[in-house]
């Protein structure tokens, strides 16, 4: 059984977010997939089963738990599928909580992914979040995935420190921060994503986040095409195109490593 480790939304060496991709003939037991994800120790491991050469079903596991929606691991999955099937130009990947996601091979390592929107709603900032961040909060938004705190500028996003233990109180939602970019002309906005209850301290680049903050910044900036920087330690570049009811994300991917799973505990279950 093969596993690919793919870096997604790369901007330079050792940037972007890593995902492990495992293509199965049939689903493994939930506990086994969770144990494998814990060993892989990347943000998510994507497990896929094909229903046709260009249609796969996916489940995502962080090192801690199964995840309803993971954008970067979906893009990694498509990149890995295109590597295995070089004549394939598009693939549909389906998840129970998200539906169909269409991905296209743009060449030279670039993948474009079409996702359904998850609009944000303006809300009062929960008190626990007010006291868990070292920056003033301009506005607070929420969708089914996370709370999003709007900050003053990109410097505030970079300088953000969160009380990671305290923000577990808003679980199962995670917490993101974002701000318009004032001085970095390459990017329209910055973001970061914290998810201690579901996967780790900070996610390097979070594709699913942009289904919410993409429409937010498209409206605020009156632009349908945007470029975002996720200002984690690794960092990553996300290109966005807003469409009716959907959003397209484009990112650069490459394979960091491929390996063969030889554990008898896995092989005998497959």
Please give the positions annotated as active site: 44
Tokens of 49: 């089963």
Local structure of residue 241 (DSSP, 8 states): E
What is the three-class DSSP state of 252?
strand
What is each CA distance from 255 to 46, 104, 202, in whole angstroms? 15, 17, 22
Among candidates 6, 150, 148, 12, which has minimal Cα distance to 80?
6
Give the total residue count for the chain.
270
Q: Which helix (H) or strand (E) holds 12?
A: none
The answer to whether the peptide bond before residue 211 is cis (omega within 30 degrees of 0) is no
Alpha-carbon distance 101 to 112, whole Å?
10
154: left (phi over 0), alpha (psi -120 to 50) or beta: alpha
Tokens of 239: 């290109």
| Phi, psi dihedrals of residue 187, rounded to the nearest 5° | -120, 145
What is each CA distance from 119 to 63, 70, 219, 252, in whole angstroms? 27, 16, 11, 25
The answer to whether the peptide bond before residue 172 is cis (omega within 30 degrees of 0) is yes
How far apart, in Å, do the first and last CA atoms of the chain sit?
9
């Amino acid at each position: 059984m093969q596993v690919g480790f793919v870096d997604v939304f790369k901007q330079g060496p050792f940037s972007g977010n890593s995902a492990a991709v495992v293509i199965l003939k049939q689903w493994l037991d939930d506990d086994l997939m969770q144990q494998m994800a814990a060993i892989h120790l990347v943000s998510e491991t994507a497990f896929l089963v094909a229903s046709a050469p260009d249609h796969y079903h996916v489940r995502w596991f962080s090192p801690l738990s199964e995840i309803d929606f993971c954008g970067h691991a979906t893009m990694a999955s498509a990149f890995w599928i295109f590597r295995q099937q070089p004549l394939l130009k598009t693939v549909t990947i389906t998840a129970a909580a998200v539906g169909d996601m269409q991905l296209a091979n743009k060449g030279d390592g670039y993948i474009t992914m079409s996702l359904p929107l998850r609009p944000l709603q303006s809300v009062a900032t929960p008190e626990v979040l007010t006291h868990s961040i070292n920056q003033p909060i301009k506005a607070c938004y929420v969708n089914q995935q996370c709370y999003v705190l709007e900050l003053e500028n990109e410097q505030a996003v970079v300088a953000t420190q969160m009380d990671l233990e305290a923000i577990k109180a808003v679980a199962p939602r995670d917490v993101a921060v974002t701000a318009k970019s004032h001085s970095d002309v390459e990017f329209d906005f910055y973001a970061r994503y914290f998810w201690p209850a579901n996967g780790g301290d900070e996610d390097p680049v979070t594709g699913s986040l942009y289904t919410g903050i993409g429409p937010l910044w498209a409206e605020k900036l009156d632009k349908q095409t945007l470029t975002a920087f996720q200002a984690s330690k690794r960092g990553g570049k996300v290109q966005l195109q807003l469409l009716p009811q959907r959003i397209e994300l484009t990112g650069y991917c490459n394979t960091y490593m491929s390996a063969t799973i030889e554990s008898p505990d896995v092989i005998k279950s497959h």
